[in-house]
Homo-oligomer: A and B are copies of this chain.
Amino acid sequence: MDETLLMIPGPTRVAPRVLKAMSENIVNHRSAIFGKILSEATEMMSDVFRTNNKSYLITGSGTAAMEASMANILTPGDKILNIVCGKFGQRFSQIVQSFGGQPQVIDVEWGKAVNPDEIGYALEEDENIKAVTVVHNETSTGVTNPIKEIGKIMSDYNALYVVDTVSSLAGDDVDVDGYGIDICVTGSQKCMAAPPGMAAITLSDDAWKVVEQTNPKSYYLNMKKYRKSGNAEPPETPYTPSVSLMYAMHEALDIIMEEGLVKRVKRHQIAAQATRNAIKALNLELFPDESVSSTTVTAIKMPEGVTDGELRGTMRNKYRVELAGGQDHLKGNIFRIGHMGNITHREIITTVSALEMTLRELGFDISMGEGVAAVADTYLPENI
């Protein structure tokens, strides 16, 4: 299989021991041995979410968990406040619409983060808002939203606080109970560095109260069924889960526990800082305001005089480093470097070095090594 270095915002590079875990024999998903794996994985998942509530693993993409978050609390006609700073914020409002809800959208300019006060104003104005959705890390623009500060404001209101941490959990600060998050969702293939195909969700007591009063809008994603099966002895999932991906999640969660969340987030923060420093050293321009720039993916304006195909094509075909392009109206206008999961100074150095050579080949006046030096400098012990 392809050995290209994935520096995209998911899927990310998966450690050999996690890949290897998937080669284990398939066991009965309704057996004691699987129940043990499932309950250990979901307990570790709650530790990563930093919640005392139970977590549930769903076979599906992060989008399935986003859908689950709405399908279990929404009754047609309900108003949901969607913070839209990019593509994934939009997705929440599309999901709300598809279930007959009324999305109330706070549109934030792509490249900026939401001002928490705006959420307070919106909730003050309309007490019928049932929930607020925020995408913590908007991969499409490389922006992090201030979910801690939003949580403080949300605590004054009854609306449920729903946060998508698909591309931030285990790579940036997330504290579900500490921030007062009611429903938090994530995906396996980003900072958790597991293979794609699993999603996770956790719900607060307040969220469960709403779920209990709601006719679920999905059969496969009916969280009441997940709760019931999760409480069985041995614990189960309501439908046959991906047994192999459960092995992989368990192994990836083991790795996260071994490293420790604090250290892991710090590692992501340094990688992001090193990437930004290199970008500036190469006279490239960040797309978002640096103050809200993501810890897990850096979005960079496409330099003038070069196309996305030339830049990312050279990176991929000649240097075997895969970067992401822009999405929707940002297509061709930005490119993105994912630094999620098993990311060390080696991958950042490799990527920046390839970027230097690519830019030089494409006619830019680049002094070889300036970007790499900025990376190395960031990683020096005295600068950490």
Q: Which residues of A contact B (CB under 8 A)?
A: 1-4, 6, 8, 10-14, 19-20, 22-29, 31, 33, 59-64, 66-67, 91, 94-95, 98, 187, 189, 195-198, 215-222, 239-245, 247-248, 322
Tell me the nearest residue of chain B to A247, going by C-beta.
Answer: B1
- A243 and B11: CB pair below 8 A? yes
Taken together as a complex, chains A and B put the C-alpha atoms of A241 and B24 apart, in Å, by 21
Listed A/B pairs (28) with beta-carbon separation below 8 Å: A1-B33, A2-B27, A2-B31, A6-B28, A10-B240, A11-B26, A19-B244, A22-B22, A22-B23, A59-B61, A59-B64, A60-B60, A60-B64, A60-B220, A61-B220, A61-B239, A63-B220, A63-B240, A98-B215, A98-B218, A189-B240, A195-B244, A196-B240, A196-B241, A196-B243, A197-B243, A198-B242, A220-B221
- A216 to chain B minimum Cβ distance, whole angstroms, is 7
In order of increasing CB-CB distance, the 9 nearest A-B pairs are A197-B242, A1-B24, A22-B22, A61-B239, A63-B239, A1-B25, A195-B244, A19-B23, A196-B240
Query: Given A2-B25, A4-B27 in contact, is the A61-B219 Cβ separation under 8 Å?
Result: no
Tell me the nearest residue of chain B to A63, going by C-beta.
Answer: B239
**Copies, count:** 2
- B241 and A197: CB pair below 8 A? yes
Q: Which residues of B sit under 8 angstroms from A20, Cβ to Cβ?
A: 23
- A68 to chain B minimum Cβ distance, whole angstroms, is 9
Taken together as a complex, chains A and B put the C-alpha atoms of A239 and B199 apart, in Å, by 12
- B244 and A22: CB pair below 8 A? yes
Tell me the nearest residue of chain B to A98, going by C-beta.
Answer: B219
- A314 to chain B minimum Cβ distance, whole angstroms, is 16
- B248 and A244: CB pair below 8 A? yes
Tell me the nearest residue of chain B to A244, going by C-beta.
Answer: B195
Q: Which residues of B sit under 8 angstroms from A322, Cβ to Cβ?
A: 28, 31
